[in-house]
Chains A and B, each alone.
With several copies, the nearest count.
Chain A
Amino acid sequence: MPLVYCGACSHAPGITGRAERADTQTRQALETAFRRMGDEMRATRPDALVVIAAEHFANFFMNNMPAFAIGMADSYEGPIEDEAFLRIRRTTVPGNKALSRRLIETVMQTVDVAYAEEWKFDHGISVPLHFLTPDYDLPIVPANINCQGPPLAPLARAWAFGEALRRAVDAVPERIALIGTGGLSHWPATPDSGKINHEWDREFLRRWSANDREALLSYTDAEIYREAGQGGFEIRTFIAAAAAAGGATGRIDFCEPVPIFAVSCTLGSFELPPAQQNTPSS
């Protein structure tokens, strides 16, 4: 049935791993906003949550780097990082292999996604879940867009991936929620970690909230790299979520630059028509 929830959020490892080094007020406001997003998402009574992530060499390496991937297992483990580094306890997260397979088969009609029968979550998924589904009681369908190792798929294909996921979600009987998760401008794990182009982020989010496909796809990777750093390549996850929202406009629930977390911490969601939230598809 039609998608019941569609949003996007940050996943920077500092949000949990270096939590106490941020300004207390900012940090509390961020965590509150994250929990509110989780409440809203779970209030739509999803049977599963699709997470469009941008992982960081936990599963995919240049020996076989898929542009797009979807997990297809009944459970996943995470986080892969040192628990003390990320301050999130390693755990087993439920999946749904049969549902994954049905989604993958539809996505494959238009987007050439790799499937993965195992998947170790890194902070890219574990940080969002820590706040959004703290009890790890909602089955996850992990999806990935390569934002780390060029050559990267063009933004238009990230859009196509979001559209394909939406078609796939709409075609299954389950109630599905979806989030994209990535950073906007940032230079993570470099000497410039903490640098943020907040103006650029605001303009990106303006286009994103308006779900302005043309404006979102008009960035080039050279421009992203110059203005938003190699971390900015992760906007692909936000773009895919916008495509999955099928033209709905978005709302920014939080957006604050937090240098010690290395990004503008961002939470947003799309205003899906109420009919899509409550009635079964025809």
Chain B
Amino acid sequence: MSLYQVQKLIYQLNRDPRTRQRYADERDAVLGDYDLTQEEIGALAKPDIGLLYVLGVNGQLLMHFAALHRIEWTDYLERMRQGLKEYGPVREGVYAATGYEGVEAHDARLKAERETR
């Protein structure tokens, strides 16, 4: 029920250099400013990108939170997939997974289509 609070913290981190600095210096104090469950605190602190994704954090917030932790794009996508396996489907919001062949397969298919055109 405190997804709003999780997202607000990530929003502030993404937007505000001072919050980022405080998060680096005294993470627990920053986490304490928000009304979070233990599961949420754990997911943020680790960070468990897969769990945050399943909790319903909007991808437009989450991808920058991942980047803040130097998690590269492909790794970010992979961690969300792992989250789905570990914790089940996305519980809230509109960023649910719907199934996809993957960029490489998709690229190959498009290329084949172009060649037969």
Query: So, do A and B actually touch in the complex, CB under 8 Å?
Result: yes
User: Which A residues contact B (CB, under 8 angstroms)?
Assistant: 18, 23, 56-58, 61-63, 80-82, 85, 117-118, 120, 148-150, 187-196, 225, 229-230, 257, 259-260
Known contacts A18-B73, A230-B94, A259-B110: does B11 contact A190 (CB below 8 Å)?
A: no
CB distance from B29 to the nearest CB of A (A): 20
At the interface, is chain B mostly helix, strand, loop or mixed?
A: helix
27 A-B contacts (beta carbon < 8 Å): A57-B11, A57-B61, A58-B15, A62-B7, A62-B8, A80-B14, A80-B15, A85-B64, A120-B15, A148-B60, A187-B100, A189-B60, A190-B59, A190-B96, A190-B98, A191-B77, A191-B81, A191-B84, A193-B100, A194-B103, A194-B106, A195-B98, A229-B98, A230-B94, A230-B95, A259-B107, A260-B107
Asked if B67 CB lies within 8 Å of chain A CBs, one says yes
Tell me which residues across on chain A come within 8 A of B103, comparing CB atoms.
193-194, 259-260
Decide: B97 and A191 in contact? CB cutoff 8 A: yes
Q: How many residues of B contact A (CB 8 A)?
A: 34
Decide: B98 and A149 in contact? CB cutoff 8 A: no
Q: Which chain B residue shows the least CB distance to A257?
A: B110
Tell me which residues across on chain A come within 8 A of B41, comparing CB atoms.
none
Decide: A57 and B14 in contact? CB cutoff 8 A: yes
Asked if B99 CB lies within 8 Å of chain A CBs, one says yes
Given contacts A85-B67, A192-B100, A260-B107, 12 further A-B contacts (CB under 8 A): A57-B60, A62-B4, A191-B77, A192-B97, A193-B77, A194-B100, A194-B102, A194-B106, A195-B100, A229-B98, A259-B103, A260-B103
